[in-house]
Structure 1
Amino acid sequence: MSTSIPVVALIAYPNFSPFHFAVPYMVFTAELPEQRLFELKIVSPGAQPLQAERALTVQPDGGLELTETADILVVPGWHDLNTPPEPALIAALARAHARGAHVVGLCYGAYALAYAGLLDGKRASTHWMAEQDFCLRFPRVKLDMNALYVEEDRLITSAGTGAGLDCCLYIVREYYGPQVANKVARAMVIPPHREGGQAQFIEQPMAVSTQDAQINRLLDYLRKNLARQHTIDELATRTSMSRRTFTRHFGKATGMTLVDWLVNERLQRTRDLLETTSLSVERISELAGFQTPVSFRQHFKKRFHVSPRDWRQTFGQRKTDLA
């Protein structure tokens, strides 16, 4: 291990993503007036120049031998989720971790660490679009689909594209503390730390219709009347069914209980209103059918891991001071 400036081995691979490569490159080559923070080495198996997507080419500093003395190894994404790293790279990652180095997988780079077996039994994160595939391939990994980044046992993984910046700044904080990390963030004109998790970025579409025409008509009615309070007995009568029959038909058609379906639809309505209007939280809560603003805030925070105010600040067309 390095005894002075930490050494970062940034690992290139065929058809790498220029953005995913550039994120750790920028963070770990950042210099402050008073000090250089890291020594970055670009690594490729066999020390061969590698071409990125759309014809960019990177000239490495050397081959996998450079990983043997690095303090931090970074795999910035991964080019093919169906393709494990070559055995030499897997061995290099395993040796580095065994001797105490940090091993980092940014975004789909978590696949490289998982293929190497390093994440078995550990918490990890990756891009939300890969959740189902990752869980099927690596059932022993404890995937956290809300975290922007996760560290366990010197294994660090991050969520999608922008979370790579959060993750790299986290590493700067771990080595140099928050003041230095904040200086690096200011120099890059990015926030030093983001609240919330990737749940706020995950698309959660609701089926507009089902295979049950009678239930479809009811769903249309409910969407037009979200502000009202609805009971199972009322809706069963509306569909000319008994309470028991209605509950069974609704669950079969939507895969949800009535309460869960209404909460999902109401949360979607509140997201739209937060993003496109300057209405108060109280008014949005009322229009979406939540019984109280407190209930709205609780449901919103539970689902998206941020407050309505933070959602509007991130995605809204204008900022407003919400109560």
Structure 2
Amino acid sequence: MSIAVGCAVMVCAVAALLGWCAGASGVILHPAGEPNLAVWQDRPPTAVIGRWGSNASCVVVSPNCIVTTRHQGGSTATVVRVDGVAYGIDRIWNHPRADLRVVRLLGAAFNDFVDLYDAGGEIGRSVVIGGYGLIRGLELVTGGTVYGYSWQATGNTVLRMGTNRIDSIPAPASGDAYTSEILAADFDGLGSGFATQYECTVARHDSGGGWFIKRDGQWRLAGLSRSIEAHYAEGHEDDPNYILEQSWFRNRGQPELPDPDYLDAVRIGPYADWIRMALGSPMPGDLNEDLRVDFADAAILGLHWGRTDCAAPDFCGRADFEPDGDVDFDDLAWLAVHWLTPGLDP
């Protein structure tokens, strides 16, 4: 659990222990503000948002790669589903500090994918948020006034999308083994003067879903859903045994007062170059595809040194860089050119 802007914030890396990060179905919207995705056209294509296993979401950023958060777990055995099709995983690159990973999928050839938003100036920008998290359940009422909604425990098979506005770029969020640059928003009540047309927040299993900004006529990925404000049973504040799966936009005790929930996302801009390096992998010399050329790659080259039988598709573990069928000093030169290249370390 961490504290941000004066409120308790639930980060799924901790809440996974409580079952907060395991399943999906869609973002939380107000009943009077739900979009019809068949009619709403000014949004990213639905096919750019996928499902990470059974407990999170992801975003397509190239013909064969997705990005998602790390805190929900997973491995190369995780099944990723995009536009109804299941894919295995070929390679995962985990950022060494941030709650972020790039994943290359087996057999993928996507037509729909989004570029990265790295232009800055996110504060005040409208965003479209999408994911496969839990949907809205019953209204929560105090004294006849609705102050929020419970979450309905459903499966992770239905994509939902909504809108919000970025309010701030807080200090980097740390804890739960990750330190991430973040974007923050809140869940306003419709008609409050601050709400967007399809005002939404996120819920369990939306982690890794996209926050999209439209720039130069193109939708670009600005963030990945990361955390939300936590709520507790009355008399049990900050007790993880009494967490409520709910979203609020008014104060529970004084519902006449606005009290919008906080939500945030891993900010993509500061990590755009690192993501693009992963998307462009393998680079010459990077034999183990860890986005750097170092002694580990030299060791692989040494294992294949002197071979003259290199052929497609492997070309001696890619140690035959040219490729010309053998591993010799020409290949060593390729490794030397990229040796410890500045910028490879994220």
TM-score range with shorter-chain normalisation? under 0.3
Between structures 1 and 2, the one with greater helix share: 1
Structure number with the bigger relative contact order (C-alpha 8 A, sep ≥ 6) is 2
Between structures 1 and 2, the one with greater strand share: 2
> Structure 1 length as normaliser, TM-score?
0.26
Q: Which has the larger radius of gyration?
A: 1
